[in-house]
Amino acid sequence: MIDALIAGRLHGHAEERTGQGGSTFVTCKVRTAAGNGDSIFCNVIAFNDDARHALLALGDGDSVAMSGALTPKVWTDKQGNAHPALDLVAHTVQTAYHVTRKRKAMQGAGKPGDQVHGAGIDDDLP
C-alpha cells in the first residue's frame, strides 16, 4: 500500500453499490496521466461519506484529485501484453467545486479593505 495523491478525469460515471454486509461504497475509473505521455486507469473505491458524495456528483470527463491507499497492479490483455493499473481506496476527494467553495470562504475571511488575490472572479460551477 502506498499513500498517494492522484489527479485525472473521471472515465464514465461513478456507481454506488452496497456490499454483502450492507455497507455502501462508490466505485469509478479515473484516467490519470503517466510520465511518458500515456495514461493509466485508476480503479477507485470510496467508503467515506464525503468522498462518496463528491464522486457521485461528478460526470464523465470531470477533473478530480483524490488521496488514499494506492496499490499498483499489472493486467494482461488477450494478446499477452502486460499493462499497468492502479487501485485506490479514496479517503478524500477534491473537485473544482471544492476549490471554488474554499476560495469564496477565504475571500470572506479577510479584514475589510484587504486585497485578495483573485477577488472578483465569479466562477460558480454547477
Q: What is the CATH number of the domain that holds 80?
A: 2.40.50.140
Q: Flag whether 41 is in a domain.
A: yes
Q: pTM for the complete prediction?
A: 0.74
Q: Flag whether 120 is in a domain.
A: no
Give the pLDDT confidence score for residue 36 in this predicted structure.
85
Counting as low any pLDDT under 50, the low residues of the chain are 116-119
For residue 86, what is its C-alpha cell? 492502479
For residue 79, what is its C-alpha cell? 494478446
Query: Which among 87, 81, 75, 82 has a CA at the least distance from the CA of 30?
Result: 87
Q: Flag whether 64 is in a domain.
A: yes
Give the pLDDT confidence score for residue 107 in this predicted structure.
75
Q: Flag whether 114 is in a domain.
A: no
Number of H helices, E strands in the chain: 2, 5
Q: Flag whether 39 is in a domain.
A: yes
Rg over CA atoms, the chain: 18
Which residues form the domain of 41? Answer: 2-108
Q: Flag whether 113 is in a domain.
A: no
Give the pLDDT confidence score for residue 102 in this predicted structure.
65
Q: Flag whether 102 is in a domain.
A: yes
